[in-house]
Amino acid sequence: MNTLTHLKKGFNHTGGVTRMVVCLFLFNLIFALLLAIPLFRTLQDEIASSDTASQMTESFDYLWWEEFNDRASGPAELFGPDIIGKGAVLLNLEAFLQFRFLDWPSSLLVFMLLYLVVHTFLAGGILSVFSQDAPRFSMKVFFAGAGHQFFRFLGLMALSWIFFILTAQYLIGSLNGILTGIKETAVSEVSPFIWNLIFSAVVLAVLLFIQMVFDYARILTVLEHRDNIFSSAWRALRFVVSRPLSTLGLFYTVFVCQIAVSVLYAVLIESFPQTKFLTVISAFFIQQLFIFSIIWIRCWLYASQLELFSYKR
Amino acid sequence: MKKLTVLLFVLLIFVLAGVFIHSEWKANRGTEVDFQSNAESVSPPVPVPAADEPLCPQVASYTIDVRLDTENNLITGTERLTWTNTTDNAAIELWFHLYWNAFSNTDSSFLRDSFLQGESFDHFREEDWGFCRIQSIFLVNGNGKDRTDLSTLMEFRHPDDGNTLDRTVFSLPLPRPVAPGETVTLDISFESRVPRPISRTGVYRNNYFIAQWFPKIGVLENGGWNCHQFHSFSEFFADYGTYDVRITLPSQYVIGATGEHRDVMDNGDGTSTHRFVQHSVHDFAWTTGPDYLEHTENFEFLPGRTTEITLLYQPYHRHLKERYLQAVRNAIHFCSLWYGAYPYTTATCVDPAFNSRAGGMEYPTLFTGGAYFLSPERVHSPEGVTIHEFGHGYFYGLVGSNEFENAWMDEGFTSFLDSAVTHEAYGPPLYSRRFFGVPVTFKEVPIPIESGGIDSHRNTSDMDILQRFAWEYMDGESYGANVYSKAELLLRTLQRVMGEDVFGNMIKTYSQRWWFRHPRPQDFYDAVNEFADRDMSPFLDQVIYGSGQLDYGIGQAESRRPPAGHGLYEGRFLKGRTAPGADDLFETEVVVRRFGEVIIPVEVLFQFEDGLDLRESWDGEYRWRKFLFTHAAKLKRVIVDPDFKLVLDVDRTNNSRILKPDRLSALKWTTRWLVWLQHSLEMLTVFGG
């Protein structure tokens, strides 16, 4: 069986548990709404009763935003023109690759950490559903699996953080140091630019590699009922290293699909006018369809990786 | 043969049609102004016949002859200074700048300031430090043959901060006083070492940018010598004169400098000597390097008025050449229209080398731009900085204000100028941000001209006042926020309060009146009051000598039916009393407030639901004013300063009030923020499960 077959199987399995994906999507949406509703109130207080309202309906009132940005606190500090269209995706990618999210307001970081913990809980459910011979979504299987695996997954998350922190501390630090050196002696800004892109790609590859290894560690934990997280991580690493073509091929195929969906979304949403109530609501559906797709692709990755692991084991 | 002739004829028609269509297309492009640019060439600069008649008294003139040693980064040579005492008092001594001694060690006042701003110089090697040393200085007596050696009389002075380790100013006692109107001549030989780039001067990989590099006399005013030390946040001040400069350097080096490139002489030893001459300027700068590409063209900026534009640009910025040139053309054209016709025969724009730290700086007839190799058109880079630095040719170059003491009179005026020219020529720029070094523009986010500087002014206005010596601002942020931002906002506010035409006449008059002279703030006051229909001094005082903010806003606005009366009316108890006709009327009450300290009259526009618009004026003297109306319709909208004249207003959002809130925009932008947050939450799961 080749990578495409595993991907196809994973695709079918994910398609068979659409209800689970919808639940995960709703969880994401509701969680995000907990912060978005206060922002809506803030924006309403700021602009609904002033001329800015009509300007912000037509386009983006930069003058107002500069004022708002000086007043904003908490998560609202991250409201700005960067979030428009492709900016939202690029902003997150940059924050992720350069660990800039650590500079975000602490209230938002606490909120995100909470999301991460709950999502770790849900990951046990996702893999339990996919580990069935014929994956079918039921609340019972999902939550039983989630509860059963939670502390093991939490341990794996903590273990993975050691590698993420090492990456942030040493790899990114070293690459930034090298980049500074390149800048200081460069003939033009072109070579630092190219090196910056290369270094970003290296960091991305390392971060995704760590993610992939710990994905397999979670899969291994579920399939083999392992309690020892160190052993799971070690075996997952050996599994990935001994089958680089299939594991990396599968991972990056899904990753490319995610990029393609993001590009498609950016093109679509930026050409979509949002000046009337109906168009704003329509755009909202496109936005949510995008998020749904991202979550669906994450589930597809899990399902495909689980298929691959089961087959190669 | 006949067929071939027909074919060639048809081909010719197509080529001509193509040329015509291309030129039409260019002429119709919205962002380009249709100038008559002609005679393009990429050959070395063709000497243009100089208009040798000086445009003003030549107070301090220099004849300089130097050699650049590219092995050791040394400039050695001589200068003959001819200086005239234009004051009413005799001069018993002369004061000079030696700017490059600011780069000798970390104890200079300049580098002490820089260190406080967080710069480190630990990585500087011995050969990276710069200096300017006088080797000899002679007073040339009347016949030109006798010379008196004054070298031993030099004394370093520290008029600004008493820093005895600073060597950027020295004084020279004279054997006999120079009487008012008398001229003296000095012969100075000097040696300067080009530093590693620190501030708009230095050498990086054979790219030299050479400014403030020779011993330069201060300005004698009636109050004494105006000759300040070199500070991190200060620029320059000098008298006008003629510069006749010979520079010898390796023959393969390309050079650009202040003034006309009169001739080049091959010395036969691998070096060439270039001669540049310019009268009626107060400084001379040059740049050289083997890698510069050069483009020269004549440009007719107004009917019958031409100048020669030279662009020196980097090979990796070839694709930006036309954008640089168009920016220079736009700048010369609009500045000539608005501030007086450009009087010099050359304008040299330099695209500085990477890491040269020479970007964004101005010298007479020569200025530097600066660009990132990926520059989307609507971001206005390199256009903005190019226009700004050319604009300094007016406010600093022609209007010779004192940059040490009145920095806002050049930076603020030029910031106002550059945003006006840029918006006129290109429209508003778009918001842009680099992700991984790749600039991404947001077409939904135009940056309005009113936003220029308001953010920094809002956040730092209480740190300093606008009129302050450049090195005395709290820090770089406050310096920038005042001399660039606040002054630009002041001018834009004045433009709208006075009216565009009146202001246009005022600024052109002020500019031309002070060409080749040294105006002070009061001279600007005088020009404003001469053209304004009222005394603007109280307003100017608040902004220039005060640190308060301007902020008008709506405190409260409501419309309601007159309430029914209740109580004793002429001895009778009534409950629910309504006045005759009151059922058809609404009472409207609006409180307009002055939240800031700055007082200036303001207009308020009231719009009612039946289409009635009312305009009222308020002097703004007290903190608030209540407006009461009784009208057949409810108030729909009220706005303070409806024509957006008061660009200095730090909070524009509170200027308007709509009585029926519009929640659609809040919904729209919340959904956009929501999807960003959802995406970031999902991306974060990489770190978990």
Domain locations along chain A: 3-17+85-96+105-312
Nearest to B339 by CA among B467, B503, B449, B485: B503
Contact A44 B666 (CB under 8 A): yes
Largest CA distance in chain B: 119
Return the number of other C-beta atoms located less than 10 Å from residue B235's C-beta. 20
Q: Where are the beta strands (DSSP E) in B489-618?
A: 552-560, 565-569, 572-577, 586-594, 602-608, 613-618
Q: What pLDDT sits at residue B33?
A: 42
CATH of domain B552-666: 2.60.40
Q: Does A224 touch chain B (CB under 8 A)?
A: no
Strand, coil or helix: what is B618? Answer: strand
Cβ of residue A283 closer than 8 Å to a chain B Cβ: yes
Is the four-CA dihedral A96, A100, A106, A108 of positive or negative sign? negative
Annotated domain spans of chain B: 59-239, 431-544, 552-666
The CA distance from B452 to B379, in Å, is 14
What integer is the mean pLDDT of B267-276?
Answer: 97
pLDDT, tens digit (0-9, with 9 covering 90-100), for A47-96: 999 999 999 999 999 999 999 999 999 999 999 999 999 999 999 999 99
Q: Give the model confidence (pLDDT) of B448-468 as tens digits.
A: 999 999 999 999 999 999 999
Q: Is the pLDDT assigned to residue B195 strictly greater than 80?
A: yes
Q: Does A285 touch chain B (CB under 8 A)?
A: no
What is the percent of chain B with per-residue pLDDT over 70, rounded to a whole number? 93
Degrees (nearest 5) of the Cα angle A212, A216, A222? 145
Distance from CA of A312 to the nearest CA of B (A): 22
Query: Which member of A48, A119, A274 has the closest CB to residue B666?
Result: A48
Could you tell me if B651 lies within 8 Å of chain A, comparing CB atoms? yes
Residues linked to residue B395 through DSSP beta bridges, in sequence order: B399
Q: With beta carbons less than 8 A apart as the criterion, state whether B427 and B447 touch.
A: no
**With the C-alpha atoms ordered B642, B645, B646, B648, is the resulting torsion angle positive or negative?**
positive
> Is a pLDDT exceeding 70 seen at residue A141?
yes
CB contact under 8 Å between A284 and B671, yes or no, is yes
Contact assignment for A295 to B682 by CB distance below 8 Å:
yes
Separation CA B170–CA B87 (nearest Å):
20
CATH class, B59-239 region: mainly beta
Q: Is residue B236 within 8 Å of B201, Cβ to Cβ?
A: no
Residue B662 has its nearest CB partner, among A54, A63, A295, at A54
Total number of residues shown for chain B:
689
For B354, which of A33, A91, A186 is closest by C-beta distance?
A: A186
Whether B222 contacts B89, CB under 8 Å: yes
Tell me the C-alpha distance between A253 and A246, whole Å: 10
**According to the 3-state scheme, what is the secondary structure of B445-486?**
EECCHHHCCHHHHHHHCCCCCCCCCHHHCCCHHHHHHHHHHH
Please give the pLDDT value at position B223.
79
Residue B668 and residue A99 in contact, taking contact as beta carbons nearer than 8 Å: no
Query: Are B664 and A57 inside 8 Å of each other by CB?
Result: yes
State how far the Cα of A119 lies from the Cα of B684, in Å rounded to an integer.
10
How confident is the model at residue B579, as a pLDDT?
Answer: 75
Checking if the pLDDT of B689 tops 70, the result is yes
Interchain proximity A63–B440, CB inside 8 Å = no
SS3 content of chain A, % helix, strand, coil (to 5): 85, 0, 15
Show residues of chain A in contact with B433, CB under 8 Å: 82, 87
Q: How confident is the model at residue A225 (pLDDT cuts 50, 70, 90)?
A: confident
ipTM value of the model?
0.97
Give the residue on B whose Cα is nearest the Cα of A37: B670
Q: Do A157 and B689 touch (CB under 8 A)?
A: yes
CA distance linking residue A137 with residue B246, whole number of Å = 86
Give the per-residue pLDDT at B43: 35
Residue numbers in A near B549 (CB within 8 A): none
The rounded Cα B533 to chain-centroid distance in angstroms is 28
Whole-model pTM: value is: 0.91
Strand partners, B78: B65, B189
Tokens of A277: 């109530």
Q: Which residues of A touch B667 (CB under 8 A)?
A: 40, 277, 280
pLDDT score, position A1 = 60
Interchain contact, A51 vs B639, CB within 8 Å: yes
Average pLDDT over residues B326-337: 98
* Spatial separation of the C-alpha atoms in residues B273 and A123, rounded to whole Å: 76
Chain segment B620-634, per-residue pLDDT in tens: 999 999 999 999 999
Q: In the structure, what pLDDT confidence band is assigned to residue B116 with cuts at 50, 70 and 90?
A: confident
Mean pLDDT of chain B: 91
Tell me, yes or no, if B474 comes closer than 8 A to chain A by beta carbon. no
- How far apart CA B38 and CA A229 sit, in angstroms, is 76
Residues 44-103 of A with CB under 8 A from B: 44, 46-57, 59-60, 62-64, 66-68, 70, 75, 78-79, 81-96, 101
Mutate to test the interface with B, among A185, A280, A299, A305 (most CBs of B within 10 A): A280
Place of tokens 């700055």: B598
Per the structure block, which two tokens stand in for B48?
């243009």
Q: What is the percentage of chain B residues whose pLDDT exceeds 90?
A: 84
In whole angstroms, give the CA distance from residue B383 to residue B386: 5
Residues of A in contact with B683 (CB under 8 A): 92-93, 96
First to last CA, chain A: 13
Residues of A in contact with B688 (CB under 8 A): 116-117, 119-120, 123, 157, 160
Q: Read off the pLDDT of each residue in A270-276 and give the average, rounded to a whole number.
A: 90
Name the residue with tokens 């209800």.
Answer: A19
Cα nearest neighbour of A97 on chain B:
B436
- A160 contacts B662? CB cut-off 8 A: no
pLDDT value at residue B51: 57
Query: A-chain residues within 8 Å CB-CB of B657?
Result: 49-50
pLDDT at B580: 73
